[in-house]
Structure 1
Amino acid sequence: MPTSVLYEIDHRDRGKLEKILNDASLVANSEAVLWRIDKAGVPASFLFGTVHVIDTNLQSLSQATLAAIDASKVVAVEAAETSRASLTNAMTRAQPLMVSHDRELQRILGDDEMAVVEKVLADAGYPSQLALGLKPWAATMFLADSPCQRQLQERGLKPMDTIVVERAQAIGARIVGLETTYEQYSSLASIPPELQATWLKASIELHPRVDDVTQTMSELYRFRRMDAAWTLTREMAPNAGLDDATLASLRDELVSKRNARMLERALPFLDKGGLFIAVGAMHHLGLQGLVALLRERGFTVTPIE
């Protein structure tokens, strides 16, 4: 049974937990997951934050969120490619980005760390020797796999992004992607090598608790404290070298750079109104988040819930 890291820290040091959560509450635009976007002369649009995990408590959308989807003509998600064929095609195109020709993992990982990656690959049905030919970012993606998440999916439970898409399909809204899956892979592959290595080492340290991580992410989402995920990652992986500068660089590579691209893709639809944007809630936060970027472009963005 997964255990929330929040309860663990609370038991060990309540003051530390209170500071982590309080600091997260002070981050700009962290108070809501559903926002109304207004521009004079066009219908309202909406911005909705999801969390990319499956949770039994997150299997339905609020009435306000459903109403916002139903009032929209277009629903934009991070990547609209959902068919097995399109995902397979994206993976095939991305394979050259995943491949290391100089046994990169063997150079940057110790034997114990390498063994973790090899076991994860074997458990996923791949030869363990594949680790010798992977880039660090690609190995990190394999380490994110969660047994509990797989079990929930086998039971028929869905991530929030899928629930949004299914509602959009039910009302006949047009569904568009703000990125392609290949672009997402390319963004990961473009992370500087030293940062990829640190991210991988943190993921290896976290891997024995990967189910606890997903449980914690769900709770941070419900508490509107998503920004605390960065501090909690450092708390759970103290040996990975995740100092403030490294975490800031990871945030920039994984979130901020993608925000700019997603905004540019959304603007033609926002200018007409009637758009519902559903992306990970982490993309809303801070001065480089989508809420702030939309306001810089002259939109009025108001929290709903």
Structure 2
Amino acid sequence: MAKTIATVRAIAVSAMVLVSSLSPSNSYAAPQPGCEGRSLIAELSLKRPAGVASLLENARQAENSQAILWRIERHGISPSYVLGTLHIAHPSLQELSPAVTSAITASRVVALEQEQLSRGAYGHVMAQAGKLMSARDKPLQRMLDDSELRVVEKAIAAAGYPEDLALGVRPWVATLFLAAGCPNVTHEPMDLIVANFAKSQGKKIVGLETLLEQFETLASIPDEAQAAWLRSSIEMNDRADDVTATMLELYKGRQISASLDLMRELAPNAGLTDARMQDIRHGLITARNVRMAERGLPLFETGGAFVAVGATHLPGADGLISILKSSGFSVTPVE
């Protein structure tokens, strides 16, 4: 997990995927000596073997789940590409594959979830987003017990803020603080690696969303779902590096759509009901798919675009690849 809205590492297995693009200053945290995690899938499989096996198999069979790099084509225009990234910094993700670098080199424009990945950009948006983040009715004091509230206070203090800030923020903000990444960051997240390579090739870089829009999306999740999401990150607070390792296994195994469901398995006491999971899924993934598709379609229609977004935005009937198919494009898995 990590602490920033430019790239939060994984908050609970689901937030790892999307919110990873939404957090403050240590978002590029990477495993350091003593901080290596281990995947929790084997542990979960021992506790509930049939359920977890079904969950993983469904993710493997999900529509458009077999690849993270796709070629997007339409007669008469240059091919474009879509890459599903993982918003964490990890040693095994520090090099782009030859297929990815070739696709970027051949493209005229590169689109990321957001154009500005810097801490400076985050600070600018913070000044605009205060009303989305703050709450006068002390919601965390109402929603959490004393021990849970103490976990949040410690995370806020570790980030360099007064711990009583916890009494004045909404649950989604507290969730972003629950990131205990290791110090002495030396690695970069995939999105930044893509951006840096694109810049080295002289490519134009654009964003499909703004940081403020991402804040607004998180703030729009109903409070009850926000609270359950926060409790899940509190429940997994001591196993942040294990959550990262779990996310990495899902990504490499092309089972990324299982991340939200595994969040509930990892935090069974958080109150993640079906309705709350649906609200979280809509806010983190589905609603953003629509927005990113609307802004990406003109790029694909012109051709020669390379689009990199979180991998959970690609699979499923409401994923970006399905949206592109329904828009008349031919899609081909590359790797």
TM-score normalised by the chain length of structure 2: 0.86
Distance between the aligned counterparts of 1:52 and 1:125, measured in 2?
Answer: 23
Q: Residue 40 in 1 paired to residue 70 in 2?
A: no
Q: 1:146 aligns with which of 180, 194, 199?
A: 180
1:147 offset after TM fit, Å?
2.1
Aligned residues: 300
Q: Residue 9 in 1 paired to residue 39 in 2?
A: no
Q: Residue 88 in 1 paired to residue 123 in 2?
A: yes
Q: 1:287 aligns with which of 317, 324, 328?
A: 317
Distance between the aligned counterparts of 2:189 and 2:268, measured in 1?
Answer: 29
Distance between the aligned counterparts of 1:23 and 1:84, measured in 2?
Answer: 37
CA contact (8 A) 1:121 1:127 kept: yes
CA contact (8 A) 2:110 2:307 kept: yes
Distance between the aligned counterparts of 1:57 and 1:17, measured in 2?
Answer: 25
**What's the counterpart of residue 75 of structure 1?**
110
**What's the counterpart of residue 197 of structure 1?**
227
> Secondary structure at 1:57's aligned position in 2?
helix
Distance between the aligned counterparts of 2:172 and 2:48, measured in 1?
Answer: 33
CA contact (8 A) 1:103 1:134 kept: yes
1:93 offset after TM fit, Å?
1.0
Note the residue ranges of structure 2 that are not aligned, 5 or more in a row.
Answer: 1-35
> Secondary structure at 1:41's aligned position in 2?
coil
CA contact (8 A) 2:314 2:321 kept: yes
CA deviation vs aligned residue, 1:118-173 (integer Å, no higher than 9, x gap): 01101111111000000111111111x2323x44xx2x211110110011001101
CA deviation vs aligned residue, 1:185-236 (integer Å, no higher than 9, x gap): 1111111111111111111112121111111111111111111212221111
**What's the counterpart of residue 281 of structure 2?**
251
CA contact (8 A) 1:9 1:16 kept: no
**What's the counterpart of residue 266 of structure 1?**
296
> Secondary structure at 1:246's aligned position in 2?
helix
1:83 offset after TM fit, Å?
3.2
**What's the counterpart of residue 332 of structure 2?**
302
Distance between the aligned counterparts of 1:240 and 1:83, measured in 2?
Answer: 33
1:14 offset after TM fit, Å?
4.8
**What's the counterpart of residue 266 of structure 2?**
236
> Secondary structure at 2:221's aligned position in 1?
coil
1:13 offset after TM fit, Å?
5.4
Change (3 A) 1:126 1:234: same
CA deviation vs aligned residue, 1:57-85 (integer Å, no higher than 9, x gap): 11111111111111101000001112333
CA contact (8 A) 2:114 2:211 kept: yes
**What's the counterpart of residue 54 of structure 1?**
89
- What code does the residue aligned with 1:233 have? M
Instruction: Say which structure, 1 or 2, has more relative contact order (CA 8 Å, 6+ apart).
Output: 1
Distance between the aligned counterparts of 1:83 and 1:208, measured in 2?
Answer: 28
Distance between the aligned counterparts of 2:136 and 2:199, measured in 1?
Answer: 43
Distance between the aligned counterparts of 1:110 and 1:248, measured in 2?
Answer: 25
Superposition misfits of 4+ residues, deviation over 3 angstroms: 10-17
**What's the counterpart of residue 120 of structure 1?**
155
1:17 offset after TM fit, Å?
4.0
CA deviation vs aligned residue, 1:14-57 (integer Å, no higher than 9, x gap): 54443232121121111100001011211000000000111111
State the percentage of identical aligned residues.
Answer: 47
Distance between the aligned counterparts of 1:123 and 1:4, measured in 2?
Answer: 26
- What code does the residue aligned with 1:147 have? G
Q: Residue 65 in 1 paired to residue 100 in 2?
A: yes
Distance between the aligned counterparts of 1:14 and 1:139, measured in 2?
Answer: 33
Larger helix fraction of residues: 1
Distance between the aligned counterparts of 2:332 and 2:194, measured in 1?
Answer: 21
Note the residue ranges of structure 1 that are not aligned, 5 or more in a row.
Answer: none
Distance between the aligned counterparts of 2:121 and 2:47, measured in 1?
Answer: 46
Distance between the aligned counterparts of 2:257 and 2:296, measured in 1?
Answer: 24
**What's the counterpart of residue 180 of structure 1?**
210
